[in-house]
Structure 1
C-alpha cells in the first residue's frame, strides 16, 4: 500500500453488555451495535456513531479504519442489517483486514448503454447480476460496468469479456453469460399456438356432445 493512501477512520466504542435490550439502548443513543471479527482474533463487540456509519455508506466506503480507545484496526464492511423500512441500520458486521491484502467480494454488474438488438425487438436477459472479484481490499470497485451498445439479437457478453481494474481477476467461469439479447417470439407463432388451442377446445366440445 502506498504511503499516500489514507483510509477513512471512525471511532468505535467497546460494548460491555450484550442482548436486545442493550442494543435498543445503544440505538436510542444514536449509535449502531457492531461486531469485528477475523484474522484469527476473538470477535470484538463495539458500537459506532450512526452518522459516521451513514457517511461511509453514502460515500460507498467499504474499507475503513476503526479507532477503539486508541487501538486502530483496518476493517471491511461485511454486512449491514436494516430495519423493515430500510431506513435505519440495526447492526453491522466488520471483518479485520490489511488494506493491502487481497479479498474476494461480490461486485454488482452495471449495464451501460442501449442495445440495438433490444431497439429492434429483441429481449435483454441478464443471467449474472454480480461477479466474484479477487482484488486488493482498498481497490474494491462500486460496480463492474458492462457496455451493451453493440449487442444485436443473438449476441452475448461473457464473463471473459468483462473488464476489471488492474491487478484484479474474476473467479466466475469465463464462458458464463453475463448478458445477452434473444429474439422475441414471433407473433405468428403465438397466433398459431392460440389457433391450435382453440381448435383443440372445439374438438373437445364436439366430442363431449
Structure 2
C-alpha cells in the first residue's frame, strides 16, 4: 500500500487565540487515536491543502499517512488512516479530522469502494442495471487493503444479480453481510407489464373454461330432465288410450 508523509503540528499546549490564528492560516484541528489500550490520544493541526494532496492516491481516504511532528521537543511520527472528515454544512470546508493509528500485523476496518467494470448483456437487451451499494466494509492489515474491489458486470443477464458473498476474500475479510445485494439487472417495465398481462389473460381463460364447463353441464342436466318428462308424458297418454278402449 502507498504511504504519504504529512507534517503536522502538535496542539495540546496552544492557547485559544493561537488556535484561531492557525485556523485562519488554513490549519485544521485533528486527533490521533486508536492502537493499544494504553496509547494516548494526540491532538494536532494539519494544513488542509497538504491533507487534500496526501489523499490523491488510488487508495483515497484509505491511504496510510505518516504524520510527522514534534512532541516534548522530540521528532516523532504516527502511521494512520483517515477515519473521519468533518465539514462545514454551508462552506464545505474541513473543520476537523479523525486519524486512526495503524500498525503492521494489526487489522483495521475501513470502507472500500466498489469499481464496476464491463457491460451487462442483460442491459443490452433492455434490462435496467440497478446498483444497490458502492462500498463494503473490509477488515485487513494495512498492507493488504485493496484500493477498490472490482465488480465484473460482463456476465449479468436480466434477473441476474451479485451479492457480497460471491466476492473474493482470500486476502482480506469483508464484514458487510454476505447476502447484501451489490447489483442486479432488472427486467424493463414494458416486459414486466407484458408478463403480468399474459398471466392475467391465462387466468381469465381458465375462468372462462370453468364457466363453459358449468354451462355445458347445466344444459345436459336440463336436457336429461326434459327427456324424462317427455317420456313420462308419452306413458300417461298411452295409459289413457288403453282406458278408453276398455
Change (3 A) 1:99 1:52: farther
Change (3 A) 1:109 1:42: same
Query: Displacement, 1:148?
Result: 0.4
Q: Is the 8 A contact 1:155 1:181 kept in 2?
A: yes
TM-score w.r.t. structure 2 length?
A: 0.66
Residue 53 (structure 2) aligned to one of 49, 55, 58: 55
Do structure 1's residue 80 and structure 2's residue 78 form an aligned pair? no
Query: Displacement, 1:154?
Result: 1.1
Q: How many residues align?
A: 186
Query: 40-49 vs 149-158, which deviates more?
Result: 40-49
User: Hey, which of these two has a bigger chunk of helix by percent?
Assistant: 2
Query: Displacement, 1:35?
Result: 0.7
Change (3 A) 1:85 1:185: same
In structure 2, the residue matched to 1:109 is 114
Residue 155 (structure 2) aligned to one of 142, 150, 153: 150
Change (3 A) 1:156 1:10: same
RMSD (CA atoms): 2.8
Taking the aligned partners of 1:176 and 1:187, their CA distance within structure 2 comes to: 26
Taking the aligned partners of 2:136 and 2:2, their CA distance within structure 1 comes to: 27
In structure 1, the residue matched to 2:33 is 37
Unaligned regions of 5+ residues in structure 2, if any?
198-246
Query: Displacement, 1:23?
Result: 4.9
Taking the aligned partners of 1:96 and 1:123, their CA distance within structure 2 comes to: 42
Taking the aligned partners of 2:117 and 2:185, their CA distance within structure 1 comes to: 14
Change (3 A) 1:168 1:185: same
Q: Is the 8 A contact 2:5 2:54 kept in 1?
A: no
Q: Is the 8 A contact 2:145 2:172 kept in 1?
A: no
Residue 97 (structure 1) aligned to one of 94, 102, 112: 102
Do structure 1's residue 162 and structure 2's residue 167 form an aligned pair? yes
Deviations 1:89-118 (A, max 9, x none): 222110122144211212122211211211
Query: 26-35 vs 84-93, which deviates more?
Result: 84-93
SS in 1 for 2:55: helix
TM-score w.r.t. structure 1 length?
A: 0.76
Taking the aligned partners of 1:72 and 1:89, their CA distance within structure 2 comes to: 23
In structure 2, the residue matched to 1:10 is 6
Query: Displacement, 1:139?
Result: 3.2
Do structure 1's residue 25 and structure 2's residue 21 form an aligned pair? yes
Do structure 1's residue 71 and structure 2's residue 73 form an aligned pair? no
Taking the aligned partners of 2:112 and 2:91, their CA distance within structure 1 comes to: 21
Q: Is the 8 A contact 1:36 1:95 kept in 2?
A: yes
Between structure 1 and structure 2, the one with the greater Rg is 2
User: Hey, which of these two has a bigger chunk of strand by percent?
Assistant: 1
Deviations 1:39-79 (A, max 9, x none): 23232111023332121122226211112211111111111
In structure 1, the residue matched to 2:243 is none
